[in-house]
Amino acid sequence: MTEYPTALGASTPERITLLGEDLAEDVMGRVSFGELAFRLATQRRPTPGEVRVFEAVLAALADHGFTPTAIVTRLTYLSAPDSIQGALAAGLLGGGSRFLGVTEDCGRFLHEVLTGVQLPPGEAGWDELALKTVTAQREAGKFVPGLGHHVHKDGDPRTRRLFEIAREEDLFGPHLTLFEAIGRVHPRVLGKTLPLNGAGACGAALADLGLPLELLRGFALLARTAGLIGQLAEELRSPVANEIFLSVDGNTVSVPPDPDGGSDG
């Protein structure tokens, strides 16, 4: 008979356990939600400093206003108000490569660069590694994940603050160090100065916390779930989804079909 081992939730008639602890006695009322999410993903107890960095990342990613994912959640709620789960799920489905993927891409990228490399002893060494990294990306015709922002062109306030918090908690590890060095040296290669964006800094910080790289996007989605609930709460107070729909519908122009427009087959 197949068995499915798990350290997550389990229960007997008298007791519920989660990660080996008594849910009612040891978790409820004692463990913050941010710490719990960290524990669930790592199966270990984080330090208070780790929780602080982790929650700072979640705060940075929770809501960015009327993003596509926020619009999608509001429109889906307009269309199917009976299914809150559908409205949230629809919004999360926009959490792909373009709008929420930078966190994961940046964490993975930094990790790959660091794999098998002897960590440099000082700032000059990190600058050298960063220089090699940016140059290699440029020669391959690729962007450096986490570099550049369409609004915060002179610096993303989340990045500076996250660096500060990580330093305060003594959790400024190799991923953040390499990311910071990339911020210093890239103008020498690219010929212009780009900001280190907050989503990328979040990826570096999560990687330094030792969280599974495959799930970095998952944490962005967890943060965004809280943000999308905020969007729905505001939609309930002062609805705009129908106005958004009408503003699109009202500017539609019918054109003839274009049989030659589609195929590149």
Which of 140, 141, 154, 170 touches a copy of itself by CB under 8 A?
Answer: 154
Closer Cβ to a copy of itself, 124 or 192, answer by number: 192
The one segment of 3-11, 118-126, 130-138, 177-185 that binds a copy of itself by CB under 8 A: 3-11
Closer Cβ to a copy of itself, 124 or 233, answer by number: 233
**What is the Cα–Cα distance from 107 to 127, expressed in whole angstroms?**
18
**Contact map string, positions 196 to 215, toward a copy of itself, x by CB under 8 A:** -----------xxxxxxxxx
**What is the Cα–Cα distance from 255 to 161, expressed in whole angstroms?**
49
The one segment of 76-84, 131-139, 176-184, 185-193 that binds a copy of itself by CB under 8 A: 76-84
Burial of 265 (C-beta count, 10 Å sphere; 0-12/13-18/19+): exposed
Q: Is 80 in the site for a copy of itself (CB under 8 A)?
A: yes
Q: Is 194 in the site for a copy of itself (CB under 8 A)?
A: no
Q: Is 66 in the site for a copy of itself (CB under 8 A)?
A: yes
Burial of 27 (C-beta count, 10 Å sphere; 0-12/13-18/19+): middle
| Spatial CB neighbours of 196, under 8 Å, sequence gap ≥ 6 | 146, 147, 156, 159, 179, 180, 182, 183
What is the total count of residues that contact a copy of itself (CB under 8 A)? 144
Q: Output phi, psi for 70, to 5 deg.
A: -65, -45
Question: 166, 205 in Cβ contact below 8 A?
Answer: yes
Cβ at position 9, least distance to a copy of itself in Å: 4
Chain position carrying tokens 């669930």: 40
Residues numbered 215-254 forming contacts with a copy of itself, rule: CB under 8 A: 215, 217-219, 221-223, 225-227, 229-234, 236-238, 240-241, 243-245, 247-249, 251-254
Q: Output phi, psi for 2, to 5 deg.
A: -65, 140
Cβ at position 135, least distance to a copy of itself in Å: 25
Q: Is 140 in the site for a copy of itself (CB under 8 A)?
A: no
Q: Is 262 in the site for a copy of itself (CB under 8 A)?
A: yes
Helix (H, G, I), strand (E, B) or coil at 31: coil
Q: Is 193 in the site for a copy of itself (CB under 8 A)?
A: no
